[in-house]
Amino acid sequence: MATTVHEGAPPAGVGRYRWVICGLLFAATAINYVDRQMIGVLKPTISAELGWSETTYADVIFWFQAAYAIGYLSFGRIVDLVGARIGYSIAFVIWTLGHTLCGFVNSAFQFSIARFILGVGESGNFPAGIKAVTEWFPAKERALATGVFNAGANVGAVVTPLVVPAITLAFGWRMAFIVTGIASCLWLVAWIAVYRRPRETAKVSASELAYIESDPADPVQPIGWGRILRYRETWAYALGKFLIDPIWWLFLFWTPDFLAKTYNLDLKSFGPPLVVIYLISDLGSVAGGWSSSRLMKRGFSANAARKITMLVCAFLVMPIFAAQYISSLWLAVAVVGLATAAHQAFSANLYTLPSDMFPRAAVGSVVGIGGTVGAIGGMMMAKFTGYILQTTGSYTPIFAVAGSTYLIAVIVIHLLSPRLARVDAA
């Protein structure tokens, strides 16, 4: 009976309370990305007031990502030990503090400290989110659930250029950080009130609980980092993150700058193009999770479904090569939007690999290792981007890297884990 549930659609009458949890994860990820992206939207304003060069801005991004690398590894382990409810709450409090402090700084050094705190806290978002998905969804729905909550990143990226310029023009950029920081605390109240494990939640029906727990049982004892690091499957995930995460950071932190410089946009006018880009990204995030889940329902293995979807996404990113040379603003928006959508679809599938290959007790740690490695790649990309823009002012070599990385990532993942086989953790 369990096998039938696992391989087909949810049986009639199965509840949907698990999607309430996914909705909370979606909201948290949206807030996470509002807080993260604000510096990109406000880059021209802050740079003009505080006298930042391209390399100064890159250094501020670098320290955010350094903290993200440290925090991601730590939070992966913390979430495995204390669970998603407490782990997510700790992360949220830290990142909201760092974000709000950005409204009180007066130098690049102080900004770097505030963004460092933000990076430590924000690094807990995805380890906790993936842990929650692992607790609340059977394997065949995890890519879709991950794609849905990961789509919150794009909603946050859409909200930011709509709300933040309005607050900034009315009250200044400092109040933009303070107001958004205080408003986001409503999520924390909802999370603490609602989130429990499925067996601890009275609103989960017996049939839905059976569906959630329909996968074969796996070991519950913690697995040490020493063992986790020896698995090729760990590095398949981690090196995938190392290759693609820096490109997402590039899109997030430099797209407003690219549009402003290439098409003479300002704080009042680059909002609509950014909104369109991230609306397209939102569709990509959900479509990527839906695609592999759909292929699995049609009989494809997880290995084939994930890799086919990621390979298609790798080809869809490639038109970004030409973005620098497109004279039409809206054609450039379409090309960048396609690339960001393909990234999100790729990422939704990459995020499911730890739960495909590892027992639940190790998922948070593997996600943490991958996030740390990805953030290290992001640190390198920040330095590279700042140097190229400071010395040449051209995005061409930057987009050349962005357009080729995803295909390399698929190849690396396949070479390290040809079958996405589940590790023997006994």
Domain membership of residue 83 (yes or no) is: yes
Domain membership of residue 70 (yes or no) is: yes
pLDDT reading at 359 higher than 90: no
d(CA 251, CA 244): 11
Lowest-confidence region among 56-65, 101-110, 354-363:
354-363
Q: What is the DSSP letter of 419?
A: T
Read off the pLDDT of each residue in 20-47 and give the average, rounded to a whole number.
92
pLDDT reading at 7 higher than 60: no
CATH (domain of 370) = 1.20.1250.20
Confidence of residue 22 (pLDDT cuts 50, 70, 90): very high
Q: Are 90 and 124 in contact (CB under 8 A)?
A: yes
Q: Are 140 and 293 in contact (CB under 8 A)?
A: yes
State pLDDT tens for residues 51-104. Answer: 999 999 999 999 999 998 888 778 877 888 888 899 999 999 999 999 999 999
Q: Where are the beta strands (DSSP E) in 168-312?
A: none
Domain membership of residue 1 (yes or no) is: no
State pLDDT tens for residues 250-293. Answer: 998 999 999 988 999 888 888 899 999 988 988 888 888 889 98
pLDDT higher at 152 or 102: 102
Domain membership of residue 293 (yes or no) is: yes
Domain coverage including residue 38:
13-196+227-416
Q: Are 296 and 413 in contact (CB under 8 A)?
A: no
Domains identified in the chain, total number: 1
Q: Is the dihedral of CA 42, 48, 50, 52 positive or negative?
A: positive
Read off the pLDDT of each residue in 312-324 and give the average, rounded to a whole number.
96
Q: Are 332 and 326 in contact (CB under 8 A)?
A: yes
pLDDT reading at 340 higher than 90: yes
Domain membership of residue 222 (yes or no) is: no
Cα atoms found within 13 Å of the Cα of residue 331, Cβ hemisphere only: 8
Domain membership of residue 217 (yes or no) is: no
pLDDT higher at 270 or 41: 41
Judged by phi (left if over 0) then psi (alpha if -120 to 50, else beta), residue 216 lies in beta
Read off the pLDDT of each residue in 369-382 and give the average, rounded to a whole number.
92
Read off the pLDDT of each residue in 175-184 and give the average, rounded to a whole number.
94
The full DSSP string for 368-398 is: HHHHHHHHHHHHHHHHHHHHHHHHT--SHHH
d(CA 287, CA 53): 38
Confidence of residue 426 (pLDDT cuts 50, 70, 90): low
Q: Are 120 and 94 in contact (CB under 8 A)?
A: yes
pLDDT higher at 243 or 371: 243
The full DSSP string for 317-363 is: HGGGGGGGG---HHHHHHHHHHHHHHHHHHHHHHTTHHHHHS-HHHH
Read off the pLDDT of each residue in 171-184 and give the average, rounded to a whole number.
94
Domain membership of residue 50 (yes or no) is: yes
pLDDT for 6: 40
Confidence of residue 105 (pLDDT cuts 50, 70, 90): very high
Q: Is the dihedral of CA 58, 68, 143, 354 positive or negative?
A: positive
Domain membership of residue 423 (yes or no) is: no
